[in-house]
Structure 1
């Protein structure tokens, strides 16, 4: 509460929101409006002018979250001699970043803000569609610097800085469960942002659904699992789909809620590090598919042969409660070794 009271009585420069001491967010990040280039240039110029008048002895650094391609903010702010560090605004379709990239952001931010003898300012910006990952990174920074307590409390506080509908407009699924999982990873690390775990590849064997979701409209679904990440067994270390071809949607089986039995979906992928797992429903024509739920996790934090995911632990669409029950669970089964397929 002391932090909120201090922020309430301290007026930041116009068009900026102060999230923490010397950490500001451009207010355009909270809007769906797209500015014309000349308007955007004036917008940035006015903010920089205010900052340099109000913080004469401070240096500025901007973290920008964007899609691939040329960055508008980088080009414009370079005219003012301001360093801009660009980060992606998603990882394999999930509004999160790989853990190594998250830790890099936190280390650089901490060093910049704690530079001896200086009062540097950190500015956060996202281009179109980048608000969800920016919100997560802000929450991570607040928790790491111990300026806020509690992962869920911190994340919700940051979410509330923007209109509720903005998050829903930018993400098909509610990202909060995966966001919270990665915030807990951050909080489990030491002060140097290191975790003492050997990066051992895992064999992701299966996904077991405790109940059958109703995605076909008549009490059933035809589920398949798709895994994205870095295939440990392949020479190409690019991030991509690594689910074996044998799990094509043409071989998917249909399951009914009336059968009242768990569903086991074999996977057989070798994974390591950051993994995005999706469970999809394939329609009767086997042509169209619909995302039922998604989860992003890091294998370094798995301590058993099963990753148990309750209903509140999976990313689902904003209105998906009508297709799932609160008792729904998904179990991701692992072996602590990888055997070439």
Structure 2
């Protein structure tokens, strides 16, 4: 690392450096200390948000504004570096794509994200992230792209009750055309607005009463009740349990921000959920999942 830092200073002799370092844990890392001792400004960011290689919208906004401010200072030769520690490539790739869109150096969320993804071997993505995070990455890149049309960004996040998750078509995770689904929901506690930390807000009870076996042959939507108050950045996991209710297998995950949910149902296709790499064949092409939002006490939307 010392050699790389020396080369950077030699190549940009009059430059000031800011480094965004993506790392795990709250403790300052050795790399951050080395960079700081080399007269570089270092800002640390986490690797993930509740298992998803993304950051909260608040942190994304801070990153984008800090980058823009640093690169826009007149009369200075400022250089911005992005570095990730072990396991951090997926979130670094997303943040770089977001910055390119934010500064209008690239257009098109899909095109920009794929361009950045190609900077690393495909095998590295599979190794560092068990699920393909591209659908959630694209969703948050779309949030960033909407900034140009919004008077306030990010908009104020709206609290609502996440009433249920509906599987319109049952995925095949038991090898027999069915699954035993349960749901977990992560996010910030709406009842503790001063706390920025996230936690489990809801988890289906692991009992045969609550975790039932559903089959594709039944051709009926599956409603998984959650009734969980959420606000801000939310991660929803849908998990398959074995028949003994002991072993879990994640079927899909979705991360979203409540500020951008403007209707009572967030409808998701197979292309809009994070699934295990190369596991799309376990979902029908027509697969749909609905996240039911309950905005007003007098309005019930979780029905079909």
Poorly superposed stretches of 4+, deviation over 6 Å: none
In the alignment, is the contact (CA less than 8 A) between 1:92 and 1:239 conserved in 2? Answer: yes
CA distance in 1 between counterparts of 2:226 and 2:150 reads 36
Residue segments in structure 2 that go unaligned for 5+ positions in a row: 299-304
Q: Which residue of 2 aligns with 1:82?
A: 40
CA distance in 2 between counterparts of 1:282 and 1:227 reads 16
Deviation at 1:72, TM superposition (A): 2.2
CA distance in 1 between counterparts of 2:116 and 2:156 reads 33
Q: Deviations over 1:86-118 (max 9, x none)?
A: 000000111000000001000001111111111
In the alignment, is the contact (CA less than 8 A) between 1:225 and 1:278 conserved in 2? Answer: yes
Correspondent of 1:259 among 218, 228, 233: 218
Which stretch of the first structure deviates more once superposed, 44-53 or 55-64?
Answer: 44-53
CA distance in 2 between counterparts of 1:48 and 1:193 reads 40
Correspondent of 1:54 among 11, 19, 31: 11
Residue segments in structure 1 that go unaligned for 5+ positions in a row: 1-43
CA distance in 1 between counterparts of 2:163 and 2:111 reads 34
Deviation at 1:45, TM superposition (A): 1.9
Deviation at 1:191, TM superposition (A): 8.5
Q: Secondary structure at the match of 2:148?
A: coil
Correspondent of 1:159 among 94, 117, 124: 117
CA distance in 2 between counterparts of 1:310 and 1:260 reads 17
CA distance in 1 between counterparts of 2:253 and 2:277 reads 13
Compared with structure 1, are the counterparts of its residues 193 and 64 closer, same or farther at alpha carbon in structure 2 (3 Å cutoff)? farther
Q: Which residue of 2 aligns with 1:232?
A: 190
Q: Confirm whether residue 249 of structure 1 aligns to residue 206 of structure 2.
A: yes
Q: Confirm whether residue 324 of structure 1 aligns to residue 269 of structure 2.
A: no
Query: TM-score if structure 1 supplies the norm length?
Result: 0.83
Q: Deviations over 1:16-39 (max 9, x none)?
A: xxxxxxxxxxxxxxxxxxxxxxxx
In the alignment, is the contact (CA less than 8 A) between 1:62 and 1:124 conserved in 2? Answer: yes
Q: What aligned pairs does 1:108-257 form with structure 2 within 5 A after superposition?
A: 108-190=66-148, 194-195=152-153, 197-233=155-191, 237=195, 238-243=197-202, 247-250=204-207, 251-257=210-216
In the alignment, is the contact (CA less than 8 A) between 1:281 and 1:289 conserved in 2? Answer: yes
Q: Deviations over 1:287-322 (max 9, x none)?
A: 111100000000000110010101100000012122
CA distance in 1 between counterparts of 2:13 and 2:119 reads 28
Q: Deviations over 1:118-150 (max 9, x none)?
A: 120011100000000000000000000011110
Compared with structure 1, are the counterparts of its residues 117 and 188 closer, same or farther at alpha carbon in structure 2 (3 Å cutoff)? same
Deviation at 1:200, TM superposition (A): 2.5
Q: What aligned pairs does 1:306-321 form with structure 2 within 5 A after superposition?
A: 306-321=265-280
CA distance in 2 between counterparts of 1:53 and 1:165 reads 34
CA distance in 2 between counterparts of 1:193 and 1:154 reads 24
Q: How many residues align?
A: 294
